[in-house]
Amino acid sequence: MNFRTFAAFVGPSVFMMLLFIAFPLISVFVQSFYVTQTVYEVVEVETCTPGFLTQTCTTEKTSVPVVGEDGHVLTTTEFVGLQSYANVLELGRAWDALKSGSWSAFQTIDFWKALRFTLTFTLITLPLNIGLGLGIALMINNAAKAVRGPVIFISLLPFIITPVIGALSINWLFRGDGILTAAMEWYSGRDIAMFAQAWTIELLMMLYRVWHVAPFAAIVLYAGLQTVNSDSLESAVIDGASRWQRLRYIVIPHLMPLIIFVSMIHLMDAYRVFEEVVGFSSQGHVISLQWLTYDFLVPDQAGNRSISRASASAMLTMIGITLLLIAPLRRTWRDHKGGH
């Protein structure tokens, strides 16, 4: 294939990646070092009470945005270096809380509260996702050919549902007098409030993520099961290997590249958890790093948005994802070098 043909195939993809991934990422990185603020001026405002003879007027000073000749509010942009990162991390306050041994005070800091949940959510759901996905894949692989198609279709249903809709559905099942909450109250004979404390909300969010994402892992691993060497399995059976031994020493090592691939996809997706926070309305108890970035972009009462802090939060999230991907990437590189 000559260079012109190669460029014709690859060029559009590279252009789209630069336009929608690289350039926005560079823009966010640059914005994290600058703070844009509205220009205000102090003016005197006279307020008069209704009436004619008894009318009373008072004058007070107030700050109002300065409007330019083009009718737009004037703003100033200032280079602040790492100040936005410091504002997001609140390192001084965090250090004082840890030094005093107050974990509850440390958890009141938004970033560290969000980081704690994000890491917990990501690292707990990862093995559950892989384990359940492998179980579903083995079930599909061992099913009779006549029912294999319907089993695959039913297994994929949770993955087909839109994430926010799925989270809202689970929310309605457990919130207040939801069907599952009512059933648990009837069985236990006591009132149950699944959304009254943080740990139960986190548990529901994790269960939903595993239920929603495990079908993807199942389909990928099921495809890998079709390439397992049947001769190796037959030899293991002849040698008296149990089902568990065949799974541990033949099937799982064969599927390891796919398991690493699914793990990388899950790490990148779960670390950006957002739909569950919105669907379960957990902002009062549980927040994630992605939700924190969104919260910085919500306009305040004056209509201002903390774009610089939102950019810093987004870059910190990207750094976290990169750190989590180091281990599987090293394993992939080592396997690749070993294969040669």
Residue that is written with structure tokens 């692989």 in the block? 141
**Strand (E) positions, 68-114?**
75-79
Give the tens place of pLDDT for each residue, 257-314.
999 999 999 999 999 999 889 888 888 888 999 999 999 988 877 667 888 999 999 9
Average pLDDT, the chain: 86
Q: Which of 331, 274, 279 has the alpha carbon at shortest distance from 170?
A: 279
Tell me how far apart the alpha carbons of residues 170 and 161 are, in angstroms, rounded to a whole number. 12
pTM of this prediction? Answer: 0.84
Q: What is the dihedral of CA 109, 121, 99, 319, to 10 degrees?
A: -80
* Tokens found for residue 273: 């958890």
CB neighbour list of residue 211: distance below 8 Å, 6 or more residues apart = 158, 166, 170
Task: For the chain, list the domains and their CATH numbers.
Answer: 103-339 (1.10.3720.10)
CA dihedral 260, 261, 266, 269 (to 10 degrees): 140
- Which residues does 120 contact at the CB level (< 8 Å), separation at least 6? 202
Give me the pLDDT at residue 175, please: 82
Question: How, if at all, do strands 75-79 and 40-48 pair?
Answer: unpaired
Nearest to 117 by CA among 289, 279, 282, 292: 289
